[in-house]
Structure 1
């Protein structure tokens, strides 16, 4: 994740400005990420592992729900900021440094487009989840975000050819975001949902966030009993 090492300070100090406002402050959560985590993860106890935790900006929401947040990421630069917010480990999400069936909850927040092998990562998350454990995925909306989607006018998102083409691109409608800097993998809605089913997880709930056209799509899935 060398690309994120290069932009870690920008990501923390400029890109995440709204997420660092006090809880409940106007404009703090324009994509409804906090709300979605609360809605789908819910209250609980024990470790909640965040895959691709970045700078750890989601830790306070997870902690507020009663969980103990722990994060993994491949970017040393991003983890340098995350250390101030939660315990972290430098690790590949395809080879999580945790034993089988030992973690009650896993979250993945706005990172699946950074992971070309995301279905394998869902499989790995299922491996470390304890029976009955929950996986919450919060990511950019497959239908309305990507190199094929022009969001320059929030009232009229233009979706061009490319939605059905699995690809990696740095095409972006803005130079103020991430994708022109680090690129993004695209998964169609069926491909994304099949990743949970193929990992043997039971899909329970869905959510969308952002308006007037959603930018976020979220899933709660659960590992079955042993």
Structure 2
């Protein structure tokens, strides 16, 4: 994960909250964790079944590894926070790495996912270029992130039935503003990109969108996209 001032800054912030994130924010128990946003369903729908490595960038504590395995794939994670990786290491093979400098050869990875991390990465366009570099021709990349239209420092979600969108959506910026003090963003901050800027980042990286999905409600919390690298699709 990268943050204001670069990956070191956000890594330090996540190191400080890693235990809270695992135990209280995610609610991880011996039987698993709750998934109110349906992230596992999105991974299944957009990533789909397959074989070989699936690289998760910004893997955090590795809670999505089991869902990736259930699809027949082999999860591998990278993150820049040693504290988060301490929890992840029991769930999947991990490496501490900057997502803008992935430790993989060109065209060597069949699938990549990024789940709820793009706001931690002010250099997300560079991350997407790295994803395109390491993907095999026709390889799949699945982006699952907070919905840029309805989540951010400009959005008040304190009433679950009515989201109030205040001025600020069009201003790409980093902020710790949040409607709640029980979440992550007031602790580590977030980088906001309006929807067109986010979608253009896929195209500029050479990733071709195939499908989109939303989840959470009644106003969507999550926007997801399935994209492919240039080249022939796998058989």
Q: TM-score, normalised by structure 1?
A: 0.96
Q: Which residue of 1 aligns with 2:212?
A: 206
In the alignment, is residue 91 of structure 1 matched against residue 97 of structure 2?
yes
Query: 2:173 pairs with 167, 189, 193, which one?
Result: 167
Q: Which residue of 2 aligns with 1:144?
A: 150
Q: Which residue of 1 aligns with 2:37?
A: 31
What is the CA–CA distance in structure 2 between the aligned matches of 1:84 and 1:155, rounded to whole Å?
38
Q: Which residue of 1 aligns with 2:13?
A: 3
Q: Which residue of 1 aligns with 2:25?
A: 15
Residue aligned with 2:162, SS:
coil
Residue aligned with 1:197, SS:
helix
What is the CA–CA distance in structure 2 between the aligned matches of 1:176 and 1:201, rounded to whole Å?
35
Gaps of 5+ in 1: none
1:137-178 C-alpha deviation (Å, 9 max, x unpaired): 000000000000000001000000000000000000000000
Gaps of 5+ in 2: 1-10
Count of residues paired in the alignment: 222
> 1:114 and 1:221, CA in 2 relative to 1: closer, same or farther beyond 3 A?
same
Across the aligned residues of Structure 1 and Structure 2, the Cα RMSD in angstroms comes to 1.2
Q: Which residue of 2 aligns with 1:179?
A: 185
In the alignment, is residue 194 of structure 1 matched against residue 207 of structure 2?
no
Q: TM-score, normalised by structure 2?
A: 0.92
Q: Which residue of 1 aligns with 2:8?
A: none
What is the CA–CA distance in structure 1 between the aligned matches of 2:207 and 2:31, rounded to whole Å?
35
1:77-124 C-alpha deviation (Å, 9 max, x unpaired): 000000010000000000000000000000000000000010110000
